[in-house]
Structure 1
Amino acid sequence: MKNRTWFITGVSSGFGYEMTKQLLEKGDKVIGTVRDKNKVEGFIKKFPDTFTCELLDVTNVPAIQKLVEGSFEKFGRIDVIVSNAGYGLFGAAEELSDAEVDHIIATNLTGSIQLIRAALPHLRAQGGGRIIQLSTYGGQVAFPGNSMYHATKFGIEGFCESVAQEVAPFNIGITLVEPGGARTEFRYGSAQVANLMPEYEGNPAHGFLKMLDASNGQAPGDPVRMAARIIESAQQEPAPLRMVLGSQALAVTISTLKERVADFETQTALAASTDFPVGE
């Protein structure tokens, strides 16, 4: 198997870091973006020929476009684009500030959309490639106290599902990765919490506080195994549209979708009642 070139955003921690580690150890090239190069100093020193570290804030759309353009020019071909940068924001919708709402949309949704859009012309020109978008089973299932995170992930899932159909004729595959809870910095370090209001104490919206406290038990997902499955997915043909990682996440997703379908099926008469009569 020939070595490939990957472009991955957010490689300083979590899945981005673990994917980069595994890829570099097997000889692939990685263009990895960070906001602080100090966090990947080990990669820079150990893999000077195969790791290219780039500074990028994914809320800066012109910077995304410039870096993607420059990376394709420098490397000639990039086989896999991984849109990984993002973070969690917890708190009831009423507790979130306007700035917090704007920033998570700019990071998790707009940044991901613009990265994919910037890469598409180059992937078409080279005859194909793969895009991997890190989502979450929270792109299918919603919990209280996480409304804006769900908004960004439900949004990027709809975007990718549509774009996947547009670019399939160009041999470009898109995969949405939907991990469950994992023992990464995402949950136990980078997660942001709103300015909580006393009115919501005891409310389901604050249930996340127990989840974020590692003393209540660690998340079941192993980021090493999860990263390995994500890497392996880039070899699957055709590209899987969705890939749920974690048995707990899959069980909850299936249960939620079954409930949703059952609810829709009760609406057959209601839906038909709004059509013009046949022949009119």
Structure 2
Amino acid sequence: MSQRVWLITGASAGFGRSLANAALAAGDTVVAAVRRPESVKDLAEAAAGRITVVELDVTDNARIDSAIAEVLDQHDRIDVLVNNAGKGLIGAAEDIPDEELRALMDLHLFGPAAITRAVLPRMRAQGSGAIVQLSSQAGRYSFPGISAYSATKFALEGWSEALSLEVAKFGIHVLIVEPGPFRTSFNEPNVIEFTEPSEPYREGVGAVQTALANANGVQAGDPDRAAAAIITALEAENPPLRLALGNEAADSLAESYDKAKAELAAWDAVARGADYPA
């Protein structure tokens, strides 16, 4: 997998920027797909000739096909697609209006799905490729205040799991990344959005919002180490479908799986009693 071409959405900050830096350090070529090209001007100048900047809002479906065509015209291949662009939306399920939920679904599911569909024909022709879907620990379990965010990440993970089984025969691997808290821009006020909780949810959801706001800049996760972990997973002989990142994600996901297995076992007789008698 030497001299790969990476297409990274949301490459201006966070995991996207760390992955771009790691790919460049490895001698690969990076296509940074960003809404504001000036946000990666420093990367473009530092790695002149090995980074291409493409202006792309992942929710602009009319632009996606032409953007991918531009990349392929210039580089002829895409070896790693990283669907990274995203944001947080925190509020009670009852308080978040449809338009905000739909907009987040566009960003976290429909945009990545459209970009993936646009890239797949070339990857199939190559007989190789990797698709990295930036999900979250909240893509496998949820808690108060993150119903909208979890809904979009659960959807992305379900779509991606089926995709992985469909494209494996073409030499294409899908990697779903499930980070916990990392020291990225995710918790910054201009990135994360808080919907004011109505009175019934003020205490529980409000506490979650306060905790997330206070976590900005002190998260335990190192995005550069996360990038290295993602590359390690991609280059493994048997890469995983899912990769948890950070101690919190590893612990929380393990606890969630244990609870789910215990619940399944507790209701096993009821579940099995729903079939027609043998």
TM-score by length of 1: 0.94
> Which position in structure 1 is the counterpart of 2:166?
166
Listed as ranges, the gaps of 5+ residues in structure 2 are none
> Which position in structure 2 is the counterpart of 1:130?
130
SS state at 1:101 partner: helix
Say if 1:217 and 1:27 are closer, same or farther in 2 by CA, change over 3 A. Answer: closer
* C-alpha separation in 2, matches of 1:28 and 1:153: 29
SS state at 1:53 partner: strand
> Which position in structure 1 is the counterpart of 2:194?
193
Deviation string 1:46-90 (CA, Å, 9 cap, x unpaired) is: 222011011111111121222123312321121111111111100
The answer (yes or no) to whether the contact 1:210–1:216 under 8 Å persists in 2 is no
> Which position in structure 1 is the counterpart of 2:264?
264
| 1:117 maps to 2:139 | no
The answer (yes or no) to whether the contact 1:91–1:205 under 8 Å persists in 2 is yes
* C-alpha separation in 1, matches of 2:269 and 2:259: 18
The answer (yes or no) to whether the contact 1:183–1:221 under 8 Å persists in 2 is yes
* C-alpha separation in 1, matches of 2:227 and 2:210: 26
> Which position in structure 1 is the counterpart of 2:90?
90
Say if 1:64 and 1:217 are closer, same or farther in 2 by CA, change over 3 A. Answer: closer
SS state at 1:32 partner: strand
> Which position in structure 1 is the counterpart of 2:141?
141
The answer (yes or no) to whether the contact 2:187–2:213 under 8 Å persists in 1 is no
TM-score by length of 2: 0.94
Q: CA deviation at 1:217?
A: 7.8
* C-alpha separation in 2, matches of 1:134 and 1:100: 20
Q: CA deviation at 1:165?
A: 0.6
Q: CA RMSD in A?
A: 1.6
> Which position in structure 2 is the counterpart of 1:232?
232
Q: CA deviation at 1:216?
A: 8.5
Say if 1:237 and 1:198 are closer, same or farther in 2 by CA, change over 3 A. Answer: same
Say if 1:51 and 1:261 are closer, same or farther in 2 by CA, change over 3 A. Answer: same
Aligned residue type for 2:248: Q
Which stretch of the first structure deviates more once superposed, 206-215 or 127-136? Answer: 206-215
Aligned residues with identical type, % of pairs: 37
> Which position in structure 1 is the counterpart of 2:41?
41
**How many pairs are equivalent?**
277
Q: CA deviation at 1:112?
A: 1.3
SS state at 1:108 partner: helix
Q: CA deviation at 1:8?
A: 0.5
* C-alpha separation in 1, matches of 2:171 and 2:120: 11
The answer (yes or no) to whether the contact 1:7–1:78 under 8 Å persists in 2 is yes
> Which position in structure 2 is the counterpart of 1:244?
244
> Which position in structure 2 is the counterpart of 1:11?
11
* C-alpha separation in 1, matches of 2:234 and 2:180: 20
Aligned residue type for 1:161: E
Deviation string 1:214-265 (CA, Å, 9 cap, x unpaired) is: 3788211111111111122221233310000111211111111111111111
* C-alpha separation in 2, matches of 1:215 and 1:70: 39
Deviation string 1:181-233 (CA, Å, 9 cap, x unpaired) is: 0111012241111143344321x222222322337882111111111111222
* C-alpha separation in 2, matches of 1:2 and 1:143: 41
Matching of residues 202-213 of structure 1 within 5 Å: 202=203, 204-213=204-213
